[in-house]
Structure formats: C-alpha cells, structure tokens
Structure 1
Amino acid sequence: MKSAPIVLAGIVAALTAGCADSASSGALGPATASGDRDWPFEVEELDRFDEPWAMAFLPDGDLLVTERSGVLHLRDADSGERVEVAGVPTVADSGQAGLGDVLPAPSYDEDGTVYLSWAEEGDGGIGAVVGRARLVTEGEAPRLDGLEVVWRQTPRTSGDGHLSHRLAFSPDGEHLFVSSGDRQQGDPAQDTSNTLGTIVRLTLDGDPAPGNPLADRGGVTAEIWTWGHRNPLGLEHAPDGTLWSSEMGPEGGDELNLVEAGSNYGWPEVSDGSDYGGGEIPDHAEGDGFAAPVASWTPSISPGSLMIYGGDLFADWQGDAFLGALSGEALVRVDLEGTTAGESEVFDLGERVRAVEEAPDGAIWLLEDEGAGRLLRLTPANGG
C-alpha cells in the first residue's frame, strides 16, 4: 500500500526572490529561501553554458555536460577548463528535442563507456534514442568512439515535446532504465503495445531485461517496467536502491513518484492537475487502480531533473530528493523516509534549474537552463 500523496498547493506563489540581486560570477554567498530564514549553503558560480540539459561526473571528478543543440562538453575537475567532445551524434534540435542525458557506464573504469540519449528524426517524425560509445580522452581532443544505438522510443511521432529520455543504471550495474515521455499524445501512455509514457528496463545492450512485468508479451512491451507517465524528466535510485521519478503534470499536478515494477501511474486518466485550457481530469483517489505520487505540486513547478542525495557533506539530507524546478525557478528538497515523503523545502534561485547532481565530494551542483546557463556548486554555509 502506498501512503497518501502530499499535495504542495500554492508552493510557487510562496517563493521569494532570494537571490535576485546576486552577482553574475564568483561566490553568490548565502541568501534567504523564504521569509528571513538563511539558506544552509553557499552558492558559487563555476561556469556558464548556452543550452545545458544534463551533466554527469566521471569517476575522476571531471564533468560531462550536454547542450540540447548537440554539444557535449568535458570539464576538467582541477582547472575548470572545458573542451568539446567529438563524435557526438547528429540530433533533431527543435523545441524540447535535442541532445539529452549522459551517464558513465557501470564499466567506465574498465572500458570508458558512456551512455547518451538524444532526439532522432526519421520515418514518422522524431523519437528518443539511447546510444553508447567509448569516451577517449587521450590525445589532443576527447572523442566518442564506436557509437552504437541500443534503444529507440517506439513509435516516432510528429512534434518535438515530451521525449523525457532520462537514464539511470540499477545499483548492481546490470540494468539500464530509460524514461520515455508520452510525446504530448496522452492516450498512448495507457497502451502497453508502445513505449510512449513508460519507464523501460533494459539490459546494458538495450534488450528487454529478463523479469520485466510484461515480458511474456514480447516485442517492445517486454521492455516496459511502468506505464501511465506523462513527461518524467527525472530518474534516480536512492541509496537504499529504490527508484524514483519526477514528472511534469499538465496545469498543476507535477509529481514525485516511487517507481515500482508493473505499476500504472494513471496518465491521462487521472492527475492532480488540470488540462490546459481548464479541462478537468479526475484526481488520484484511493482504490482507482493507479499508483499515486508520493508528492505533487499545484501550481506547477515543472521539475526538469531529480537527484537523491547520498553524500556526507550535507549529512542531514542523506536520502532526500532534490528537484530542479524550471517554471518554479528553484531547487526543491523533499524529505524522504524510506518510500514516503515528508516536508519539502524550496530554495528560490530566480532562474530555471535544469539539472541537479551530487559531486564526488558530496557538494550539490546545479545547471540553470538556457538564458542563464550557470553551473553552480552548493556547499554547507560557513563551512559547516
């Protein structure tokens, strides 16, 4: 049984302009999150990007950053210098489509393999793609060698919205999870003969993982782990191994979901939000047969990313969820206790937050969306 969701109504209206007057470079310093309460962290600007979408740390601390237009950057951990990585695939760059997520493979230390997601154009329109390649850093410039596609979203559709294509590896390194948006189509999210509006679970080669809940049906259906999703743009395992997803609702009803095999999350049959233009959608209700979110937001905060904190630097936040809010222009922390959500905390940054990651030393790094595009590092205030 899932606990009842926490509905955080009116949260965006309550945000304050905590760092509207912050400097454009260097340390931004502590600021207030709401009222006269100080932030428990200091914020330092490290870099700026044009159209950032995702970032991932390599084992040595170097940072990979994707830009939606199709650029992959490698940023040196010591010097802060960055270079473009060659060999990146051609992407369909329009609207929400483009180069998406990036993650080092579980085998990266042995073979340098990284996984990427992007939007590809072909028969039927645009679809999300996942590929892998070897990141070669020796020589004059880094490059991707041997890029191969391991998964394609089915089917391609017209339009360039709701691709989702976030990536997560299982804690044991045996499986790849991919979030697949509903492509603004709605109804396919309830049709398990396709992978729109789903989270899929694959082998590292991109095949349907053995033991998936619909494996006996074959085809792309065998890839599906969960369905009934709208636009899940965050996908992350907690330190205890549970899988979580953050998802954009329509007008309101943004969600934080506990992702459990074989669950149907209800879209577009139920939502805590409303259709654009005022059309009503039934709210999640006990006994409706759908998995309800553990937390939801109305008005929308537009969660574009998710990180579950596992470090020691912010010891009180271990196991908590951090969501980058786009329309909410904030970093949102949700206190997680096992599979339930407690109180939330909103840190108003005054800019759209596109990505959130934990650094090897436990610092929290943020990427703001295009327009600002700052790379920020959060460390405990006053060295504490």
Structure 2
Amino acid sequence: MTRLFALPLVAVLSLGSLPPAVAQAATTEVVASGLQNPWGVAFIGDGRMLVTERPGRMRVVGADGRLGAPLAGLPPVDAGGQGGLLDVITDREFASNRTVYFCYSEPAASGGGNSTALASAKLSSDAARLEEVKVIFSQAPKVSSRSHFGCRIVQATDGSLFLTLGDRFSRMNDAQTLDNHHGKVVRVRATGGAHPDNPFVGRAGALPEIWSFGHRNLQGAALAPDGRLWTSEHGPQGGDEINRPQAGKNHGWPVITFGENYGGGAIGEGITRKPGMEQPLHQWTPSIAPSGLAFVTSERYGKAWQGSLLAGSLKFRYLSRLVIEGERVVREEKLLPDLNQRVRDVRQGPDGFIYLLTDDRNGQLLRLLPGR
C-alpha cells in the first residue's frame, strides 16, 4: 500500500458558537483506487470488502487492495444523475449466512420512471456473484427523476432494516404526506414487509413501512452505540442537517428549513421552527453536502475520539468530526481539509480503523490512520 497524505487534522470553529475540538495529526492510506464513483463499502472478512460503483457494479476489494471483477447477479439498475447502485451492508450474521443488502435506483417495469429499491442476496462462496436476489422494498410511487434517492441502509439491533429515502426533488411536498415513500425513513423486516411495530401500521391512508417523515435527501445513516438511528440530510441551499429520526416524528421538510431556494428565496413558510416538527441536532449553513456517517467506537484514535460522529463532505471535500454529548453536538472538527476529494462513505471496519470512499471517476478506498 502507498501512503497518500500526511496531513494535520485542523480544528475549526463550527457554525454558531460551537468551540473547536482538540486537533491531532493523522494520515490516510490508499487501500484501493480505480473505482468509478464508489458509493458504499461493507466488510466481508479476511480484510476483504464489498464496494459498489454507482454505474451499476459491485466488486470485492482484496486485503491487498486488488479489485475483483464485477459481481454477477445484480438486478437492472437505472444509473444516471444521482441514481445507480448505491449503498451496501452485510447482515449481522454474514459469517454464517453470507447475506448482503443493497439499494439502488430501480427502473419501472413499464411506463418510465424509477425509485429507490432495497434488495437482499447471498454472496456466493467464491465471492464472484450474488445469488437468491430478492427485492424486499420498492419506494412508491416511481417518478421520472435523476435526483434525491437517499439510499443508506442500517440494520437495527433486532435485524430489521432502516432505509433512507429522498423526496425525488420534484416531489418535495410529498415529504409531508403519508401515502407515499418520498422524503421518508422506512423500516422493513430483513425478509421484506413492514416492521410490525412501525408507527403507522394500521392507519388508514398511511404506508406501513414509514418510520419518520418530513425529510429531504438523507445520504448518511448510522446506528449509535446505544442502538438508535442517526442520519445526515442534504438541505437545499443551506440547512444540511444531522437528525435522530424517531418513530412517527415529522422532521419538517419543506415546511421548515434553515436553507433557501437555489438562487435565493424562502422555502415553504420561510420559517425554521413549528410546533409538531423536529429540530435538527446540528445544521450546516452553508451546505457541506454530508454523505456517509460513522460512529467511532474503537480505541484506534484515542479516547477523545470515542463516541464521535464522523460525516463526509461532498461539497467541501473533507471529513467532519462531531463531538456528541447525549443528544447534543457540542463541537465540530474539520479533518483532512486538504484531501480535495468528495467523501462519499465513512465506515468503521472490524479492525477498528475508519475507511472512506471518495466519489470520483477514479475513486479511492482510503484508510484513516491515527497520528503517531
């Protein structure tokens, strides 16, 4: 492996009055390169990883960084704009059941349009193909759009799956109604179907898969050490958010937002707060375009980092470390400010190291090394 950077992690003031976190030196190491717009990474043992590429490929990256051939068995993917093959995770019992879950932009069977779909599959014993592929959820309705697919997957402690869903850009008002999956977080069983404890099961006019609503475009999601879900969400022009979606809660989009229309002008009622609508735990104005999220639980980076939430920035091309106290973001640190690559995914591996994917036609899989 080659050492790519030896950069100081520079502490910066967060927006508002958050004080800077303590800085420390770190380096990044290139694990693999030559990935076309990689989107999600998952760990399959023996130092190997699954990586998705947005144009519609999934590969195994060997412990030596070598890229395997694209896996066979993927369903049709409607790649274009922000759509394509997006997130991937392994089941909690992957070592015994070889099950993976992935989400992608699914083309309509007829009549055009697409939506986000979630599928399960078995990785073959030779890691060359996906077998027993089953679509376990499809966002409804399908629309003609190349934007706002969401598509981060998190497995809850009971084995069920959370999936983040964008508002599809042109359908932002759908985020406030429960008869569609636009601008929602859904929770489904790993075998398909709504989780029976979802908040709107049995409610007339509401889709049973919905967990929370009033979202715009959630491109980051992670389970906290206490088992609760956290997400990152793209605002419009300003107002990117960190949220903790809870059952049945309304996160306000597009009625309330800290952002504004592209080019200026208020959105919705032009307000940031309204009774019955949740406030973000943290917001960025200007937007950083947050993507992958990961909680640091390992000791690789020292005790000061344990419990921190890491968020990738697509727009400003760095890694943000958020210091959490309870449900409050109390400090923010800007990491790798000279990386100059769009950070698409952030994961903590089984070895305790943090791994990053960079979104580029020649994207990279990077390992974050602690300072010496």
TM-score normalised over the length of structure 1:
0.88
Greater shift after overlay, 175-184 or 215-224? 215-224
Paired AA for residue 360 in structure 2: E
Counterpart CA distance in 2 for 1:219 and 1:377 is: 46
Q: Deviations over 1:75-102 (max 9, x none)?
A: 122x222212221222101100100111
Q: 2:172 corresponds to which residue? A: 186
1:289–1:220 Cα change, 3 Å: closer
Q: Following TM superposition, by how much is the alpha carbon of 1:107 offset from its aligned partner in structure 2, in angstroms?
A: 2.8
- Tell me, yes or no, if structure 1 residue 288 matches structure 2 residue 275: yes
* 3-state secondary structure, aligned to 1:316: helix
Partner of 1:201: 187
Structure 1 residue corresponding to 2:242, chosen from 256, 272, 285: 256
Indicate which of 76, 82, 85 corresponds to 1:99.
Answer: 85
**Alignment correspondent of 2:3:** 26
Counterpart AA for 1:73: R
2:38 touches 2:52 (CA, 8 Å); kept in 1?
yes
Letter in 1 for 2:288: I
> AA paired with 2:53?
E
Cα separation, partners in 2 of 1:108 and 1:336, compared to 1, 3 Å = same
Tell me, yes or no, if the aligned pair for 1:179 and 1:199 is still in contact at 8 Å: yes
Q: Quick one: distance in 2 between partners of 1:220 and 1:154? A: 12
Deviation at 1:195, TM superposition (A): 0.8
- Assess if the C-alpha contact under 8 Å between 2:178 and 2:205 holds in 1: no
1:14 aligns with: none
Q: Distance in 2 between matches of 1:201 and 1:191?
A: 17
Amino acid paired to 2:191: D
Which residue identity is paired with 1:323? A
Distance 1:241 1:235 in 2: 12
Q: Check if 1:241 corresponds to 2:227.
A: yes
Structural mapping, 1:209-220, within 5 Å = 209-217=195-203
Structure 2 Cα separation of the partners of residues 218 and 205 of structure 1: 24
Deviation track 1:293-325 (CA, whole Å, cap 9, x = no partner) reads: 000000010012111222121232222111110
CA-to-partner distance for each residue in 1:90-139, whole Å, 9 max, x for gaps? 2101100100111111231222111111111114501111111110132x
For 1:351, the equivalent position in structure 2 comes to 341
Alpha carbons 1:30, 1:39 under 8 Å: kept: no
* Structure 1: segments with no counterpart, 5+ residues: 1-23
Deviates more, 1:54-63 or 1:272-281: 54-63
Aligned to 2:57: 71
Structure 2 unaligned blocks of 5 or more = 13-21
d(CA) in 2 for partners of 1:143, 1:74: 10
Q: Distance in 2 between matches of 1:370 and 1:323?
A: 18
Give the structure-2-normalised TM-score: 0.90
| Distance in 1, Cα, partners of 2:205 & 2:164 | 18
Taking the aligned partners of 2:361 and 2:342, their CA distance within structure 1 comes to: 9
Q: How many angstroms apart in 2 are the aligned matches of 1:365 and 1:110?
A: 24
User: For 1:131 and 1:261, how far apart are their aligned partners in 2?
Assistant: 23
Q: SS of the counterpart of 1:304?
A: strand
Deviation at 1:219, TM superposition (A): 7.5
Contact kept in structure 1, 2:32 and 2:61, CA below 8 Å? no
> Match for 1:177 among 144, 156, 162?
162
- Match of 2:208, SS? helix
d(CA) in 2 for partners of 1:354, 1:186: 23
The question of whether the paired residues in 1 share the 8 Å contact of 2:42 and 2:90 is answered with yes
Q: How do 1:292-307 and structure 2 match up within 5 A?
A: 292-307=279-294
Q: Summarize the Cα distance change of 1:25–1:80 in structure 2 as closer, same or farther, 3 Å threshold.
A: closer
Contact preservation (8 Å) 2:288, 2:315: yes
Instruction: Look up the SS of the partner of 2:7 in the other structure.
Output: coil
The answer as to whether partners of 2:32 and 2:66 remain within 8 angstroms in 1 is no
Give the C-alpha shift of residue 208 in structure 1.
0.7
Cα offset, 1:214, TM superposition: 0.7
Report matched runs for 1:331-346 at 5 Å: 331-346=319-334
- The aligned amino acid for 2:235 is G
Rate the CA distance shift 1:268–1:124 in 2: closer, same or farther, 3 A: farther
Q: Which amino acid in the other structure matches residue 33 of structure 1?
A: V
The 3-state SS of whatever aligns with 1:164 is coil
Q: Is the 8 A contact 1:195 1:220 kept in 2?
A: no
* 1:80 and 2:65 matched: yes
Aligned-residue RMSD, C-alpha: 1.9
